[in-house]
Amino acid sequence: MSDKKLNEDVSKRRTFAIISHPDAGKTTITEQLLLFGGIVREAGTVKARKSGNFAKSDWMEIEQKRGISVTSSVMQFDYEGKRINILDTPGHEDFSEDTYRTLMAVDSAVMVIDAAKGIEPQTKKLFQICKMRGIPIFTFMNKLDRDGREPMELVSQLEDVLGIEAYPMNWPIGSGRILKGLYDRHNHRVELFEPGVEGRHFLPLDDEGNIKGDNQLEGDSIYDDAKEEMDLISEAGNEFDPDKIANGDQTPVFFGSALANFGVQTFLDAYLEMAPAPGQHQTLQDKEIQPIDEKFSGFVFKIQANMNPHHRDRIAFVRICSGRFEKGMDVTLDRTKRDIRLSNVTEFMANTRENVKTAVAGDIIGLYDTGNFQIGDTIYTGKDEVTFEKLPQFTPELFMRVSAKNVMKQKSFHKGIKQLVQEGAIQLYTTYSTGQYILGAVGQLQFEVFKFRMQNEYNSDVLMEPMGSKIARWIDPEQLDEKMSSSRNILVRDTNDDPLFLFENQFAERWFKGKYPDVKLTAKL
Ligand code: G4P
């Protein structure tokens, strides 16, 4: 395989996640995107997954019950010469550390916002992770076919609440029942909203930004208002800045309606013009791995367990960072330096008729795993050692006390906990006072999966006692005095032996800070 071919293949890849608060329209927009990619049948499965009608026979029971499917974790399709990978970031109660870690494996993010609701909590959390990574973030203001907030308000919310510069690529002409179209300054045209009419229709703009020739919007006050606002933004708003967009300091903003399929293709076309192909990855050996390096490398960002006790396999999701994956290839697992043959692999072409045998940088492969992999593991080919930077840890918000139901089975209890924690399925803390175990998670599902797997894989029934949400804050061991601990700020140690407090609420944290003003408390991400 020549360099040129690899170069060509990599430059076609666009790998992103859609981040949003539940119900903003992520599923609807994903389906639209798959449709543009000619994936009709599979598009239905995205919806079905959500409604729980979709079950694949041999995936874990919990997944089936909830209708989550591994095949919808990564969706791949071709559009306009590009190969697009969409990585799912589950919302609702499926929200977990995996959701955050998935954002470590993408090159850009699309933020979908319900125009009636503005920025909601989950969007904000996910946004912050993308911002920390410095990846481009594109915004789609959805549900324009309904009455929503003023577009000006939505745009300034991005700046005020999220602290990111906004650059509107287009501007709505009305909304809800009086939605007429989009004033599209990027493409110098007006896109008409014509429900029930086949195809998209555009009115071109002249050099002054006015619609050329006679048209139905002339003299329409709704159009005039939109044009006026767009002119105001062009004069007084942010300048389009590709460098800022590349670093996630400015977000291009698009308006539309996923349900009415309005503005979605316009968004996708502009997104593909601007979104980056896979970039380089830094290693702990102080090297930058280029995606077109011929040597293969990648890292595990997610592990999904198969709950079937008869075959205790799992799937390790690997983001390819360089080179080309070939079925049956031998790679080195950096953590153990052992060689592993990648023969049992699943790929994520949404269109099942196409059986892709190779994947390149930017793509995701799923490795059937019998316990070799941990989250954050690097795999590579060649003699030179490659270790990608560690995946960040996220501050858990939900906590449970955990113990073995049967005191005679302590051994399997400890073994199970140790392995699941190592794998990254859940976080573990030990209290200073009694040495009791406390589990931490960012989403409720992590606890359920933990319990299920302890029972099925380690034959260990566990007792779990909810402690509700807490605020976890790490403290410098030098500053720690065990007497600082109380029932409202429980002192625990994490698996690195670092001390932290679990505060009952913000009030308790503030009280603590008032009492110990010199003590520095820190959160993870
Ligand atoms: P999510 O994945 O982000 O959770 O959201 P999803 O796409 O499932 O959309 C949530 C609800 O919002 C759905 O309605 C969906 O039809 C609706 N929706 C999505 N995009 C638009 C839009 O552009 N305009 C309008 N008016 N509605 C939109 P639902 O009633 O909850 O589900 P369903 O019965 O339609 O499946």
Is 22 annotated in a binding site? The answer is yes
**Ligand 1, atom 21: nearest CA belongs to which residue?**
259
Is 134 annotated in a binding site? The answer is no
> Does some domain include residue 75?
no
Domain boundary among 274, 301, 334: 274
Q: Is there an atom of ligand 1 within 6 Å of 120 CB?
A: no
**By C-alpha distance, which of 173, 175, 160 is closest to 114?**
175
Question: Are 264 and 306 found together in one domain?
Answer: no
Nearest atom (ligand 1) to Cα of 20: 3
Is 33 annotated in a binding site? The answer is no
Q: Is there an atom of ligand 1 within 6 Å of 145 CB?
A: yes
> Does some domain include residue 392?
no
Task: Please state, in angstroms and as integers, the Cα–Cα distance from residue 202 to each residue in 67, 178, 214, 288, 347, following that order.
Answer: 40, 18, 13, 45, 39
Q: Is there an atom of ligand 1 within 6 Å of 257 CB?
A: yes
Question: Are 302 and 223 found together in one domain?
Answer: no
> Does some domain include residue 57?
yes
Q: How far is the CA of 114 from the centre of ligand 1 (A)?
A: 10
Is 24 annotated in a binding site? The answer is yes
Encode pLDDT of 98-116 as tens digits: 889 999 999 999 999 999 9
Query: In which residue ranges of the chain is pLDDT below 70?
Result: 1-2, 40-72, 93, 306-313, 346-357
Q: Is there an atom of ligand 1 within 6 Å of 21 CB?
A: no
Domain boundary among 350, 380, 410: 380
> Does some domain include residue 181?
yes
> Does some domain include residue 81?
no
DSSP H helices in 76-190: 97-102, 121-133, 151-157
> Does some domain include residue 100?
no
Pocket test for ligand 1, best of 19, 21, 23 (most atoms within 8 A of CB): 23
Question: Are 238 and 134 found together in one domain?
Answer: yes
Check which CATH number belongs to the domain holding 512 and give it.
3.30.70.3280
> What is the predicted pLDDT for the residue at 65?
53
Pocket test for ligand 1, best of 33, 254, 259 (most atoms within 8 A of CB): 259
Domain boundary among 347, 380, 413: 380
6 phi-psi bin (left φ>0, alpha ψ -120 to 50, beta other)? alpha
Question: Are 311 and 450 found together in one domain?
Answer: no
Q: How far is the CA of 257 from the centre of ligand 1 (A)?
A: 10
Question: Are 506 and 361 found together in one domain?
Answer: no
> What is the predicted pLDDT for the residue at 46?
58
Q: Is there an atom of ligand 1 within 6 Å of 258 CB?
A: yes
Q: What global pTM score does this model have?
A: 0.91
> What is the predicted pLDDT for the residue at 309?
59
∠ CA 372-377-382 to the nearest 5 degrees?
Answer: 95
CA distance 431 to 437: 7
> What is the predicted pLDDT for the residue at 1?
47
Q: Is there an atom of ligand 1 within 6 Å of 485 CB?
A: no
Question: Are 270 and 289 found together in one domain?
Answer: no
> What is the predicted pLDDT for the residue at 348?
61
**Ligand 1, atom 4: nearest CA belongs to which residue?**
23
Question: Are 253 and 318 found together in one domain?
Answer: no
Question: Are 259 and 318 found together in one domain?
Answer: no
Question: Are 46 and 187 found together in one domain?
Answer: yes
Q: How far is the CA of 316 from the centre of ligand 1 (A)?
A: 31
Encode pLDDT of 253-309 as tens digits: 999 999 999 999 999 999 999 999 999 999 999 999 999 999 999 999 998 876 565
Question: Are 446 and 486 found together in one domain?
Answer: yes
Check which CATH number belongs to the domain holding 360 and give it.
3.40.50.300
Is 243 annotated in a binding site? The answer is no
Structure tokens given for 430: 């030990």
Q: Is there an atom of ligand 1 within 6 Å of 22 CB?
A: yes
CA distance 22 to 114: 10
> What is the predicted pLDDT for the residue at 29?
94
Question: Are 60 and 169 found together in one domain?
Answer: yes
Is 21 annotated in a binding site? The answer is yes
Q: Is there an atom of ligand 1 within 6 Å of 23 CB?
A: yes
> What is the predicted pLDDT for the residue at 311?
64
Question: Are 252 and 122 found together in one domain?
Answer: yes
User: What number of residues does the chain have?
Assistant: 525
Is 88 annotated in a binding site? The answer is yes
**Ligand 1, atom 14: nearest CA belongs to which residue?**
23
How many domains would you assign to the chain?
3
Q: Is there an atom of ligand 1 within 6 Å of 88 CB?
A: no
> Does some domain include residue 388?
no
> Does some domain include residue 150?
yes
Structure tokens given for 71: 């095949």
Which residue range(s) make up the domain with 329? 281-380
